[in-house]
Amino acid sequence: MTANVLNKVDYYTTEAIKKGYVPEEYSEWTLRAFEFAAIGEEAREHFHRLSATSTKYDFNSCNDKFSECVKNHNGQRNEVSFYRHCTDMLQIVPFAKVHRTESTFKAANTSNTKVLPDNFSEELLLSYVPVHKKPIAEFAGTGILKVGGICTIIGHIGGGKSQVIESIVASKLNPYVQSLGFNLVLDDERPLLWIDSERTKNDIAAGYNRIKARIKIENNPELIVGERFKGLHCFPFVAYPNITERTKELERLVRLLKPSLLVLDGAADFVRDVNDSNECTDFIALVISLANEFNFGIITTIHPNPGFQNDYKPRGVLGSELLRKSESVLLLKRASDDRETRVLTMDFAHGKNRNNSDNLESYFKWDSNESMFLPCSYKQTSKPVKTDEQKVLFDSVLSEKNLPYSQLVSAMISRGKTEPTAKRWIATAIEQQMIFTNNGTYGTSPF
């Protein structure tokens, strides 16, 4: 597939979502699936983006539908069918008119002033020198974030992710701190902008005390200047009840402070609805554009979807956009055999590190004496026992063929399990490697 086809798919999908298009009817959704399937595997994520506009959206069902259409495609529908639907039915401006050809661009610039045509983006030439080619943030000793990019941390409420953020902030002040796996490599004196939209002022103030302890302030008093930490600006956005005002204030602070790193604890607090495609894509586009304009990186957090089937997928369309746009994605969870130990890892379905190794983990647990999380050694000494009942049930249900998630749950219910129990057993079985998942289906052996 050429880059031009991918650009077209991305353009028409984005514009259709902005227009409020929702493939609500099953027949219409199936047509879109065949059109995207004709493009190839690269179009799978775009089909998910479009499908997620519907209240009926389910990740696994969407994944299964795309795979089914790839397998059974008959050539009657293709990407051109989708383009025509967008231009004819949704009145979207054709791709060719928006993205002018090089000859059109040259024809529009006949004078020596080199004035760009209206609404034409600045062309990136070979003479452009990349800014900050080296990573500005590391995890487990490996670069995970460069200027202009996003690192997303997924974690449940109360799991300790705000203290992970505190440790990242502390590593800006003192690179020798116990930072729970993170290390900042900021090569300039610009400040770190920390925005916490989830916690109260009292909670953040308690976090200040943990940061003081973490950076050993008694040995480094110069790290406090006046009423703030040196090179750090923290703003509790809980004081902004209006989403629009929060976003405006975020942009104002970025333009005013020109930070080297933006730490955004609570990405979902900047949209009213995590499933509103327009709102979510616009917010992610805004922060990425600011990061590239002012040459900084972004570390943000988001909660996973509730329930047991999502394999820690972050919430809604916002989560999907973060997965798509992030340079790196980590998961914070409890250790399966020790609830006191936290595991920060890239080893899960959505984990990634776009420009380096993604086989990265760090471990930490609560220290009562220090009143904060501290790094610890951890090795899973024994896996939880696979009960005979569970093994017999999964062997029976999956004996003939692999099943999509919804069918697996239904099969377990038909054998006497309640829906919550079925979902909990599936989640546990995946973690214990009793069953395996691939391309939306579940089986008892690795694929």
Q: What's the predicted TM-score (pTM) here? A: 0.62
Same domain, 344 and 286: yes
In total, how many domains does the chain have? 3
Distance CA 126, CA 188 (A): 26
Q: Are 408 and 335 members of one domain?
A: no
Based on the fold, state whether residues 171 and 228 are members of the same structural domain: yes
* Residue 190 phi, psi dihedral angles, 5° rounding: -65, 150
361 and 392 inside one domain: no
Is residue 129, in this structure, part of any structural domain at all?
no
Angle of helix 405-414 versus helix 419-431 axis, rounded to 10: 120
| Residue 103 belongs to a domain | no
Q: Is the pLDDT of residue 63 over 60?
A: yes
Per-residue pLDDT averaged across 119-135, rounded? 66
- Residues 186, 289, single domain; the answer is yes
Kindly state whether residues 293 and 155 are assigned to the same domain. Answer: yes
Same domain, 254 and 371: yes
**For residue 377, pLDDT beyond 70:** yes
Of 348, 340, 346, 352, residue with least CA distance to 378: 340
Same domain as 178, residue 44: no
Same domain for 408 and 321: no
Assign residue 423 the CATH number of its domain.
1.10.10
Inter-residue contact 290 to 300 (CB < 8 Å): no
| Residue that finishes a domain, picked among 80, 97, 114 | 97
Dihedral sign computed on CA atoms, order 391, 396, 397, 403? positive
pLDDT of residue 311: 66
Residue finishing a domain among 49, 78, 97: 97
Contact partners, residue 436, CB within 8 Å, separation at least 6: 430, 442, 443, 444, 445, 446, 447
156 and 50 within one domain: no
Per-residue pLDDT of 421-431, as tens digits, reads 888 788 777 76
Domain of 158, CATH number, reads 3.40.50.300
* 345 occurs within a structural domain: yes
Q: Are residues 412 and 363 in the same domain?
A: no
Domain boundary among 375, 408, 434: 375
The predicted pLDDT at position 229 comes to 94
Give the tens place of pLDDT for each residue, 226-235: 999 999 999 9
Strand-pair category, 352-353 with 328-335: antiparallel
Among 125-129, 312-316, 392-396, the range scoring the smallest mean pLDDT is 125-129
- Confirm whether 115 is domain-assigned: no
Q: Is residue 417 part of a domain?
A: yes
Same-domain status, 225 and 340: yes
Residue 131 lies in a domain: no
56-59 long-range contacts (CB < 8 A, ≥24 apart) are 56/24, 57/275, 58/406, 59/309, 59/310, 59/313
Residue of 297, 305, 347 whose CA lies nearest to 326:
297
19-38: per-residue pLDDT in tens?
888 888 888 898 899 889 88
Domain that holds residue 428: 388-443
Residue 120 belongs to a domain: no
Residue 105 lies in a domain: no
Mean pLDDT of 144-148: 93
